[in-house]
Amino acid sequence: MNPLPKLRRCVALTLALAIPAYAQVTPAPALTEEKVTLEAFTVTGSNIKRLDVEKVLPVTVLAAADLEIRDASQPSELLSALPQVTGLPGNETATLGATARGDNASVSLRGIASGNTLLLLNGRRLVPHPISQNEASVPTLSTNVNTLPNRGLERVEILRDGASSIYGTDAVAGVVNYVTAKNFRGTELSLRYGETRYGDGGEYRATLTHGLEFAKGKGRAMITADFYSREAMYARDRAFSAESDLSYRAPAPWNVSTNTTFNLRSATTQFGNYLLGSVTGTDAFGQVSTFAGARPAGVPATLAAASGAFFLVPNGSGGAAFATATPSRAGDTQTYYWNNNDYRVIQPESNRTNVFASGEFNINDRITAFADASLYQAQSVTYRESDGITQSTDGFIIVPATNPYNPFGTRFWSPTGAPNADGSARLTGTPSAVSITNKRLSDLATRTDFVDTSVYRGLAGLRGKLSGSWSWEAALLYSVGRVIENEAGPSRKTKLIQAINQIDPARAFNPFTRTFAVQNGTLVATGDFKNPDSVTSTFRSEFIRNGITKLGSGDVRASGDVLSIWGGNTIGAAVGGEFRYEAYSDYRPLFAGLNPVYSGLNPLSNDFLGFSPNSDTHGKRHVAAAYVETVVPLVGNKFTLPLVQSLELTASARYESYTDFGDTTKPKYGVNWRPTSWIMARASYNEGFRAPNLAQLFTGTLIRTVTGSSDAYRSAVTALPTDGPSNRRSISSGNLALSPETAKGKSGGVVVDVPFIKGLSVSVDYWEIAQQSVIAAPTAAESVADDLAALQFATQTALAAGQAIGAIDLGSGSANYRGVSSVVRLPVTQADRDFFAAYNARQVPGNQRAVVGAIDVLRATYFNRAQQFVNGFDFDVNYRLPKMAIGNFTFNTTWTKLNTFYSYAADGARRTELKNSNAASVGGGTPEWRGVATLSWRLKQWGAGIGYYYTGSYTDAGATTTQATYEALGAPGYITPIFNNGAVSYRYTVHDSKSYNVFATYRVSAANRYLNNTSIRLGVNNVFDATPPLSSDSRGYDPSIYNTMARGLTWSLQLTKKF
């Protein structure tokens, strides 16, 4: 969809109606002509004080009135509504242990990794979240935006121009600065409650603010204490996310349950996939290393395949039966596959305390002491499905023949067929051990993850006046972030094996969760079985992960006028320096991170099912920096020229010295030109430098478990559970050889204060960011998608050259593999050849696939991608109507158009398209258009407003089809051809979305003795209960973009009383 007509209508509506600013880009004109004296101030992106905001730097300012329209219950909701923010790559839906969970969110400006967005509180840095999160399989240490204050704010500023010489050259995408209120006097209590139309997700908030003066006005202090509590919201309680099989919502060709693109039910199920046979080898630590599968003598072919493989499958009447072939994802056996969304959340249960205190004291008329202190504490509870055993990631878990619940063990089979001592029947055959290929331990409780997060921050400093216009400031800052993740319920592997090896039925664990019996001369499953707590408690444990980040800094800065020049103009300058200390630790107890050497277990592994082994990570660095900034007004004030009312040049440079990456100096230049009083043109150029973060450098080798990963190339061919959504091993590690990322940014635009229409301004800005040596690693989804494209390309090329499909060798399991290097496959077996031959016999040549082996492991080694480029346009219209009898109206609409976005993995490599995509390397979807429009009204004690939010369509990189299928379907609009990596990919298109917020406020008249200074606010977000558009993500939508919309219609009531 092209929203340009909507944009034109919004502009037309501006000229006809009038309405409020969601993002105030220019200061609102005064309602009267009273002459006032303005005080110079600094704005984000510059330390030179000035009277006007709208100069070279494109800055979006959200004032208190703008924040009211959005009614965001937390900072992540506020920031994700900005058109320049493409998503929340780290968000609260995270459930897996390899990434940050709980009350955590990060933002991505311009679609590049969140580490390129610098977050500030009152102009100074914030400590990163103590647990790294994976973006494009690369660990990122980003600030948790939910630690920012949500109340007691004066404004939020977003610098849309990157690579700040003032705050740090790592601000490649831009800067977000939260500015707290300083001049509040008195006491204010605010109470808020909200919930969804479905009655869940209840939110409770109480905020107390107090400000005062002391020492006869020499001192000022303010404190805001914000208490927030929120109930959990479950995926199962929304129709669009309740089911992991999304095929019923998908269009052709993905609308069949046998297609694993949208059928994301897990092959690790409550029924299970098993292998009969015997142990043939153990490793140096006594763990099973090889297992030979075979059907034992006497066991009929109806119970197990010749290879020894067998399944327990649903029999259609609530029970289970034996099967020898892979269960179909259609028909009665489709419920064989596990619905993860029964157990996962849209938002976790959270309780949060955020306290911010500030104060300042005039030591004399030239020096002021100031201090800030803040405390953030959050406790979150999130959930996920019970433990599962997956042989490919957990190794061999063997049920011995002596286990009393083994249906092929000594309880049910005897070489002679003799009955048991208790008289129960046995069949004639050789008892056998069973290797568990895939099995969900479904009778274990849902795993519960408790996440405790705390951030402490203290700042103290002095500011003062020097001679003339010069002022100075110096401060010391120290901040610590801590996270303790405690997951209750995971299983210790060795203790589970001990329970399985028991022969006493009262002490043995039954991994089959079924009972069996010999009836009518055959073996049958007779019912469900729940292991008693006395057995499961012997191996269930707690998995604990700790994270700590530290940030310490000292800075000094000064600014003022340097030289008076012609026409009453003055050259201004600012200088400053900073010393910064950064530290990061990520560690786990013994057996959770790595097994201790003395345990007799493999010291390179751990002892928990479903958790990857990790060595402790510790890293630190020091950074010293100095900067200089100047503003040179060549024309202006009393000196003007024809068509040059003002002309101003800005320049700044920042020198940084890293203890681990040496020195760098990066400049920033700008110019703005006003040919008349009502039009301004501006342009800037900047350079950025971003060192690898401490997690990217120092993290040891990680063997991750990737859940729900399908082999996109083989799954449609074999229909094997192991080729469908299942757990896979992914290997990655820190890389001390990584180089820093560098960037160059450009911007240019025009701001027009429309003549003859007072209060109306329009701006258009072009921006671009060109990055070099971007740190990246292929994600599992990206790897298998790229592998699919590479293998299809190699197959079609060979067919075009005249090779027969059965003769094509794609090098599976060898150094000559024709797929991507991040996918390592096993050599081709005869069973593989048979599967592919049968599949190709049913296909036209354009859909045929050459044979490859199964995926063995995915590699995600961090590397420096050659380059990445993104550019686009920002459009903004603001209109504050003249004061009228019916009230004051203000209108704003802000849009961002993503023009181009691509990357190259290496010099000479094929171009990877990232625009209009949800490729995980971007950290969310990157639609071409995002927009916001807001309208507010004020009349005496009354106020009201409406907000409109638009996100454009984009393609789903995880949902592809072939050219032949695309053409056979008649080239439908919901499939978009994308030229990517040298080939055309046909992707499902995630449709665009729109939602609306409304609110109304009433301030009680001062004549009311008891309710004086009381205001009431009623808000409704997502008025029409819009649902997120379908994508192939596990919950059926992209949570990095749409988690707020997933809540549905949400209402809130807020009471505020000032004392």
Distance CA 431, CA 296 (A): 7
The first and second tokens of residue 840, run together, are 């190709």
Residue 3: pLDDT over 50: no
Query: Can you tell me the mean pLDDT for 436-455?
Result: 93
Contacts of residue 673, Cβ cutoff 8 Å, sequence gap at least 6? 644, 646, 647, 648, 680, 681, 682
Q: What is the mean pLDDT of the chain?
A: 89
Q: Determine contact, residues 816/849, Cβ cutoff 8 Å.
A: no
Q: Using CA atoms, how far apart are residues 182 and 781, in angstroms rounded to an integer?
A: 48
Q: What is the 3-state secondary structure (H, E, C) of 699-723?
A: CCCEEEEEEEECCCCCHHHHCCHHH
Q: What is the pLDDT of residues 480-528, one digit of tens each?
A: 999 999 999 899 999 999 999 999 999 999 999 999 999 999 999 999 9
Length of the chain: 1059
Spatial neighbors of 143 by CB under 8 A, at least 6 apart, are 106, 119, 126, 127, 128, 129
pLDDT tens digit string along 722-757? Answer: 888 877 878 777 788 889 999 999 999 999 999 999
Report the percent of the chain where pLDDT is more than 70. 93
Residue 585 has pLDDT above 60, yes or no: yes
| pLDDT of 929 higher than 60 | yes
pLDDT digits (tens, 9 = 90+) for 854-911: 998 888 778 887 799 999 999 999 999 999 999 999 999 999 999 999 988 777 778 8
Residue 8 has pLDDT above 70, yes or no: no
Check: CB of residue 61 under 8 Å from CB of residue 82. Answer: no
Degrees, nearest 5: CA angle 706-708-709: 70
pTM here is 0.85
Q: Are 330 and 258 in contact (CB under 8 A)?
A: yes
Rounded mean pLDDT, 335-362:
94
Q: Note the pLDDT tens digit of each residue in 602-640.
A: 998 999 998 888 888 899 999 999 999 999 999 998 899
Question: Mean per-residue pLDDT for 964-971?
Answer: 96
Please indicate whether residue 12 or residue 86 has the higher confidence score (pLDDT).
86
Q: Which two tokens stand for residue 577?
A: 């320096």
Distance CA(70)–CA(999), nearest Å, equals 9
The answer to which of 86-95, 356-365, 937-946, 1029-1038 has the lowest mean pLDDT is 86-95
Tokens 């023949």 belong to 401
Calculate mean pLDDT across residues 347-367: 95
Mention every residue, 6+ apart, whose C-beta is less than 8 A from residue 717: 723, 835, 836, 839, 849
For 550-580, the pLDDT digits (tens) are 999 999 999 999 999 998 899 999 999 999 9
- pLDDT score for 30: 35
Task: Tell whether the torsion through CA atoms of 387, 391, 395 and 399 is positive or negative.
Answer: positive
User: Whole-angstrom Cα distance, residue 67 to residue 70?
Assistant: 6
Question: Beta-strand (E) ranges in 427-569?
Answer: 427-428, 433-440, 447-465, 471-491, 514-519, 522-528, 540-564
Beta-sheet strand order (sheet of 954-961): 954-961, 983-990, 975-980
The band of 548, judged by pLDDT with boundaries at 50, 70 and 90, is: very high
783-798 pLDDT, tens per residue? 888 899 899 999 999 9
Residue 6 has pLDDT above 70, yes or no: no
> H helices then E strands: how many in the chain?
12, 52
| Range of lowest pLDDT (51-60, 261-270, 637-646) | 51-60
Reference 209, options 200, 221, 218; nearest CA is 221
Q: Using CA of residue 785, residue 788, residue 790, residue 792, what is the dihedral sign?
A: negative
Q: What is the mean pLDDT of residues 346-373?
A: 96
Please, which pLDDT band fits residue 44 given cuts at 50, 70 and 90? low
Instruction: List, in order, residues 6 or more apart from 303 with CB less than 8 Å away.
Output: 310, 322, 324, 408, 522, 523
Range with lowest mean pLDDT among 138-147, 370-379, 722-731: 722-731
Computed on alpha carbons and rounded to an integer, the radius of gyration of the chain in Å comes to: 32
Q: Across-strand partners of 62?
A: 156
Give mean pLDDT, residues 363-385.
95
146-194 pLDDT, tens digit per residue, is 998 888 888 889 888 876 788 888 989 999 999 998 888 999 999 999 9
Q: Which of 35-39, 199-203, 766-770, 805-809 has the lowest mean pLDDT?
A: 35-39
Q: What percent of the chain has pLDDT over 90?
A: 68
**CA-based end-to-end distance of the chain:** 51
Q: Over the stretch 811-849, which tens digit does the pLDDT of each residue have?
A: 999 999 999 888 999 999 999 999 999 999 999 988 999
